[in-house]
Chain A
Amino acid sequence: MLTEQERHEIDEEVAAVRGHARAAVVEALKVVQRRRGWVSDDDLRDVAACLGMTPAEVDAVATFYNKIFRRRVGRHVLLICDSVSCWIVGYHALLEHLRARWGLELGATTADDRFTLLPVACLGLCEQAPAMLLDGELYGNLTPARLDAILATHE
C-alpha cells in the first residue's frame, strides 16, 4: 500500500507533466524507491493504478532502468564503475579490497543487509577515476583507504 505522502508526491509529478500521466512513471517509481529502497510487485501495481497504466506497462519501464531496483537491496547501495577509465586506473584493486576487507561481492547484499554491491556503467566522473555512486552520491579519486573511511560512516 502506498502511503498518503507517496500518493501525494506521485500526484504532484503527474500534475507537472500536464496531461501525460505516464510521463511521470520514472519519477513515481523513484518516489516508492526512496522510502522502501526497492519496488515490490505490490508497489508496482499501486503505481500503475495511480498513472492509469497496466502493471505490465510499468514493469516494462521499471525493469529497463538499472537504478530502479525490482529486488530487495541493502540499506546502502554501492554502485562501482567498471567502465574504461576506472578499469584502467584501479577498479580491480577496489573490487578486491571490497571483497577482502568488507566481504562484498558483485551482485550481492551482505548478510546484515548493510550493503549491496553492483557494477555500474561510467558515472561521468572519469577525470576523477576510479569512481562510485553510494546512495546517490558520487565519489571519485577512490583508494582502498578512502573507501574504508567512506563506508565506515554508512551503518
Chain B
Amino acid sequence: MPDLREYAGAGGYAGLRAALKMTPTEVQGMVKAANLRGRGGAGFPTGVKWGAVPLGPAARRPKYLVVNADEMEPGVMKDRLLMEGNPHQLIEGIIIAAHAIEAEHAFIFIRLAYREAAERLRRAIAEATAHGYLGENILGSGFSLDIRVHRSAGRYICGEETALLNALEGKRPIPRAKPPFPQTVGLWGQPTVVNNVETLCNVPHILRNGPEWFRGLSRSADGGTKLYGASGRVRRPGAWELPMGTPLREILEAHAGGMEEGYQLRGLLPGGASTDFLTPAHLDLPMDFASVMGAGSRLGTGTIVVLDDRTCPVSLLISLEQFFARESCGWCTPCREGLPWVVRLLRALEDGDGRQEDIARLEEHTRLLGPGRTFCALAPGAMEPLQSALHYFREDFTRHVTERGCPWRKELVV
C-alpha cells in the first residue's frame, strides 16, 4: 500500500490542488462532464447529486460528506480492496467532493469486519493532516475539512443512505422517508451527500486529467473504469479495474480464468445479491448501466456471482433470501413478514414438502414486495434474484415438487 510520499510521487493530490483553484460549481461541472455515475449500486450521476446541495453564504451550515463503506451486500468486496490498496486515493476524493459541496466535516462509515481497511484509512488521514491536505486552511486555500472514521457493528440496512445517517446519529438505523433528500436534510438535519467509496476514488483522476480523458477510458456512455469482481466456481476469483462496458465474457474468461475444472456456467448475478440473474446467453453483454438494464437486470456493484451447474438454484435462493430476511430492519410489514415467508416456501421445496401452488405463491411475492410496495429498496432488491430465477430456472423449481425434494441434495451434503 502506497504511503503519502509514494502516492504524491505518482501524481496523487494533484487533482486536489487543481480543485482548490476552482469554485465548487466548477468542480461539479467537471464531474458532470465526466459522466461519473455512482458506484454504490444505483448509478445516480454524481455531479447532479452534488448539485442539489445549497451553496454559498445563505446555505445552512455545517454541511457533511458521508462515505458509504458499509459494503455488506453478498458477493461484493470491491470497496475493501480500494481502501486497503490505496487509502490516499479515497482521502483525496473525499477532500475534493467536500470542497465541491462546501462541507466542513466528513465521515467514513465502515463496516466492522473491515478492521484492516479502517486502520489504513486512519493512518492515511493522520499523514494527510500532517502534510496540510486536511485540517484548517488546506494548502492555503481557505478551505477546511476533518474526516472521522465510524466503525459500524454489522447490519446490511446501514448501507441504505438514510439508515446510515440514523446510524451515525446513534439512533436505531432504520431508513428515513424521502423526500426530503439528504442533500438538503441529512445528518443532524443538515445538508449532506452520501457517496460510495468507489465513486469517490474516481474523482481525483477526473480533476487531474479532465472529463474527456475520463470518458475516453470507457467502452460505453458511462464514464471511466469499473472495479469488476467474480466469485463462485471460477478459476481465479478476484477483482479487476477495467474499462466501463467491458463484456461479461471478457471478465469471466480472460480475468477470472473461466470455470473451475468440472463445472459449467449456469447463470450469474451481475452486480451482487440484489440483481436479477443473467444466463450464458448474455455473455456478450457489455457491463455498463444501460446495457445490463436492457437485459433485464442491473449493473449494481459490478461484482459477479457465478452459479455453476452443480449448485441447486433453489438452494442458492435460500441463502440469498435468508440473508435479506435476516437483514430486514422490520420497519414495514411486507418486508418484515414477507421475506421470512419466502424463505419458508423455498425451504419447503428443498425439503420435498413443496406443492405446485407454492411456486405461484413465490411469484406473487415478487410482486407484493416489489418497487413501491415497501418503505425502502431492500425488499425489492431481494425480489430481483427470485423473480429472475423463477423465470430462467423454472424447470428446477418444478422438479423440486415432482421429485419431492432437491435433486442436488446428495452433492450438497457431502
Contacts and interface: CB of A to CB of B under 8 A. Distances in A.
A65 B153 CA distance: 6
B237 A127 contact: yes
A137 to B, nearest CB: 8
Interface residues of A, number: 43
A127 B231 contact: yes
Contact of A83 (B114, B168, B323): B323
A16 B148 contact: yes
B191 interface: no
A103 interface: no
B396 interface: no
A126 B75 contact: yes
B193 interface: no
A60 interface: yes
Contact of B156 (A93, A121, A129): A121
Contacts of B322: 82
A127 B154 contact: no
Interface stretch (B21-29, B278-286, B303-311): B303-311
Interface stretch (B66-74, B137-145, B340-348): B66-74
Interface string A123-142: 11111110001001110000
B154 A85 contact: no
A106 interface: no
Interface in B296-351: 303, 305-308, 311, 315-316, 319-320, 322-323, 326-327, 329
Nearest to A24: B170
Interface residues of B, number: 59
B115 A136 contact: yes
A2 interface: no
A84 interface: yes
A22 B169 CA distance: 7
A49 interface: no
B210 interface: no
A123 B273 CA distance: 13
Interface in B21-79: 71-77, 79
A98 interface: no
B323 A124 contact: no
A7 to B, nearest CB: 18
Contacts of A121: 72, 74, 154, 156, 323, 326-327
A68 B148 contact: no
Given A23-B168, A129-B231, A84 B154 contact: no
Interface of A: 16, 20-27, 29-30, 51, 60-61, 64-68, 82-85, 87-89, 92-93, 96, 120-129, 133, 136-138
Given A22-B170, A85-B232, 11 more contacts: A16-B148, A20-B188, A23-B170, A26-B150, A30-B153, A64-B329, A65-B154, A66-B154, A66-B155, A88-B316, A125-B113
Q: What are the 10 A-B residue pairs with the smallest beta carbon separation, nearest first?
A: A83-B74, A65-B153, A22-B170, A67-B154, A85-B231, A122-B74, A126-B231, A87-B319, A25-B170, A127-B237
13 contacts: A24-B170, A26-B170, A83-B74, A84-B319, A84-B320, A88-B232, A122-B72, A124-B71, A124-B76, A124-B79, A125-B113, A127-B231, A133-B113
